[in-house]
Chain A
Amino acid sequence: MSDIKIPPGRVTPWHQTNWDWRAAGNFIGGGTGTGLLFFSTLAAGSADSYRIMALIALAFIGGGLTCVWLEIGKPFRAINVFFHPHTSWMTREGMVAVPVFLCGLAAAWFGGGIFVGMAALLGIVFLYCQGRILQASKGIPAWREPKIVPLILSTGFVEGAGLAAVLSAVLPGEGPRWLAGVLLGALILRRIAWTMYFKAVEQSGLPKKAMDVLRPFGAKFEMLGQLAPEILIVAGIFYGAVLPGLTLVAGLVAAASGWWLKYTIVARAAYNQGYALPVLPVRGQGEVKPGIKPGWTK
Chain B
Amino acid sequence: MARYIMTVDLRRCIGCQTCTAACRHANATPPGVQWRKVLDIESGEFPDVRRSFVPVGCMHCGDPPCMHVCPSTATYQRADGLVGINYELCIGCGYCAVACPYQARYIVHKREFAYGDRPTEQEEARFDPNRMSVANKCTFCSDRVDLAKEKGLTPGVDPEVTPACVNSCIAGVLAFGDREDPNSNVSQLLAENQFFRMHEELGTDPGMYYIFDTK
Residues of A within 8 A of B (CB): 1, 3, 5-6, 8-9, 11, 16, 18-19, 68, 71-75, 77-78, 80-84, 87-91, 94, 133, 136-140, 143, 270, 272-283, 286, 288-289, 292, 294
Q: Is the CB of A281 within 8 A of B69?
A: no
Pick from A6, A83, A273, A283: contact of B89, CB under 8 Å:
A83
Q: Is the CB of A278 within 8 A of B196?
A: yes
Q: When A87-B69, A275-B198 are in contact, do A280 and B92 touch as well, CB less than 8 Å? A: no
Residues of B within 8 A of A (CB): 10-11, 32, 34, 37-41, 43-44, 50-52, 54, 56, 65, 67-74, 89-95, 97-103, 107, 109-110, 132-134, 194, 196, 198-200, 202, 204, 210-213
The CA of A10 and the CA of B89, in the complex, are separated in Å by 31
Q: How far is the CB of B13 from chain A (nearest CB, A)?
A: 9
Which chain A residue lies CB-closest to B92? A73
Q: Is the CB of A139 within 8 A of B91?
A: no
Q: Is the CB of B101 within 8 A of A73?
A: no
Pick from B32, B38, B92, B98: contact of A270, CB under 8 Å:
B98
Residues of B within 8 A of A88 (CB): 68-71, 95
Most A-side CB within 10 Å, residue of B70, B91, B102? B91
The CA of A276 and the CA of B68, in the complex, are separated in Å by 24
Q: How far is the CB of A127 from chain B (nearest CB, A)?
A: 18
What are 17 pairs between A and B in contact, CB < 8 Å? A1-B109, A11-B39, A11-B41, A16-B98, A73-B91, A80-B71, A89-B69, A136-B99, A138-B65, A139-B100, A273-B101, A276-B198, A280-B50, A280-B52, A282-B213, A288-B213, A289-B44
- Closest 9 interchain pairs by CB? A73-B92, A73-B133, A18-B94, A281-B10, A80-B72, A281-B212, A90-B71, A273-B101, A87-B68
Residues of A within 8 A of B202 (CB): 138, 273
Q: Is the CB of A8 within 8 A of B72?
A: no
Residues of B within 8 A of A68 (CB): 93
Q: When A136-B68, A137-B98 are in contact, do A90 and B93 touch as well, CB less than 8 Å? A: yes
Residues of A within 8 A of B56 (CB): 275
